[in-house]
Amino acid sequence: MNSLRSTYKTLLPLVLVSQLFIPLSVCAQQETLPLPINEVRMFTEALDRIRMSYVEEIDDKTLLENAIRGMLAGLDPHSAYVDGSDFGALQETTTGQFGGLGVEVGRENGYIKVISPIDDTPADRAGIQAGDLIIRIDGKPLREMLPEEAAQLMRGEPGTEVTITVAREGMEPFDLSIVREVIAIASVRSRVLEPGYGYIRISQFRVNTGNELEEEIEKLYADNDGLKGMIVDLRNNPGGVLQASVNVVDTFISQGRIVYTEGRLEGKNMSFSANRKTVASDVPLVVLINNGSASASEIVAGALQDHGRAIIMGTRSFGKGSVQTVLPLDEERAIKLTTSLYFTPKGRSIQAQGIVPDIIVDDAFVTRRSRNVSQYNEADLPGRLNNANNDEEAQNEDEMAEALISAEEVLVTDYPLNEALNVLKGINAFKPAEVSNSGSFVQRDD
Question: Would you please indicate which residues are annotated as catalytic (active-site) residues?
Answer: 295, 306, 320
- CA separation for the pair 237, 205 (Å, rounded): 8
DSSP for 69-116, please give it. HHHHHTT-TT-EEEETHHHHHHHHHHHS-EEE--EEEEEETTEEEEEE
Which DSSP category does 361 fall into?
A: -
- CA separation for the pair 416, 441 (Å, rounded): 36
- CA separation for the pair 431, 243 (Å, rounded): 38
Burial of 409-436, coded b for 16+ CB within 10 Å and e otherwise, reads eeeeeeebbebbbebbbeeeeeeeeeee
Q: Which residues pair with 334 in a beta bridge?
A: 82, 328
Burial of 332-342, coded b for 16+ CB within 10 Å and e otherwise, reads eebbbbbbbeb
DSSP for 13-65, please give it. -SEEEEEESSS-EEEEE-PPPPP-HHHHHHHHHHHHHHHHHSSS---HHHHHH
Query: Which residue type sits at 415?
Result: Y
State the Rg of the chain over Cα.
28
285 φ/ψ angles, rounded to the nearest 5 degrees: -135, 135
DSSP for 114-157, please give it. EEEEPTTSHHHHHT--TT-EEEEETTEE-TT--HHHHHHHH--S
Helices 209-223, 242-252: crossing angle, 10 deg rounding = 30
Q: Which residues pair with 113 in a beta bridge?
A: 106, 133
